[in-house]
């Protein structure tokens, strides 16, 4: 029996009620991988007729987690960023996404300045999910036609997040990711 989206949302709420920490988020990652194996969910939310762009498909009123679908016709290589005081779990629905983890070399005390070094890069293939905890800096790179599901601890449009510019060794507090 396929793992349904409604069950994923119910399970995620229960998990976050019991454990807001990294172990709870790891369980959400595992359940997202189960959801990505449901062909009906993938066809409905990430299939060929899915609208291009980013859309929120669920917001939990009690624990405040969000589920978003990202559908891209063109590939993208995004800048390093974090999710502010939120976490995120990315699950690959089509194509692949290379995730690069960055480490901050400076102490963060100089406003607008950031010196990052690449820590590691790994690929999310279809059906795989990756977890990023609060404060983790990462960048994404994906080809034309990539589609993924992202679960966040809150609505990222309502909190400050950081975007980093590697060429200028700078950091900006910004908006939507």
Whether residue 173 is predicted with pLDDT greater than 80 in this model: the reply is: no
Measure the CA–CA gap between 94 and 101, rounded to whole angstroms: 21
- The 3-state secondary structure of 61-109 reads CCCCCEEEEEECCCCEECCCECCCCCCEEEEEEECEEEEEEEEECCCCC
Distance CA 176, CA 81 (A): 11
Residue 21 has pLDDT above 70, yes or no: yes
Which two tokens mark 175? 């908006």
Number of domains in the chain: 1
Give the pLDDT confidence score for residue 112 in this predicted structure.
Answer: 92
In DSSP terms, 140 is beta-bridged to: 99
- Exposed/middle/buried for residue 1 (C-beta within 10 Å: 0-12, 13-18, 19+): exposed
Please tell me the distance from the alpha carbon of residue 126 to that of residue 35, in angstroms, as a whole number. Answer: 12
56: containing domain: 5-174
State how far the alpha carbon of 110 is from the alpha carbons of 39, 157, 170, 171, in Å: 48, 25, 10, 10
Angle, alpha carbons 69-139-174 (nearest 5°)? 80
The CATH number that applies at residue 72 is 2.60.120.10
For 68-119, how does the pLDDT look when each residue is reduced to its tens digit (9 = 90+)?
999 999 999 999 999 999 999 999 999 999 999 999 999 989 999 999 999 9
What pTM was computed for the model?
Answer: 0.93
């Amino acid at each position: 029996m396929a793992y349904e989206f409604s069950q994923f949302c119910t399970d995620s709420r229960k998990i976050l009620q019991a454990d807001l920490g990294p172990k709870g988020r790891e369980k959400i990652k595992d359940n997202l991988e189960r959801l990505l194996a449901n062909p009906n969910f993938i066809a409905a939310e990430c299939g060929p007729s899915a609208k291009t762009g980013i859309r929120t498909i669920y917001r939990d009123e009690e624990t405040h987690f969000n589920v978003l679908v990202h559908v891209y016709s063109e590939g993208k290589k995004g800048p390093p960023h974090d999710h502010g005081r939120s976490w995120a779990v990315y699950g690959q629905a089509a194509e692949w996404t290379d995730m690069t983890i960055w480490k901050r070399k400076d102490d963060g005390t100089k406003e607008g300045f950031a010196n990052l070094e690449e820590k590691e890069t790994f690929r999310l293939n279809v059906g795989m999910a990756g977890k990023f905890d609060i404060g983790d800096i990462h960048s994404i790179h994906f080809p034309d036609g990539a589609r993924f599901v992202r679960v966040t601890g809150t609505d990222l449009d309502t909190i400050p997040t950081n975007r980093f510019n590697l060429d200028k060794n700078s950091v900006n507090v910004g908006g939507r990711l």
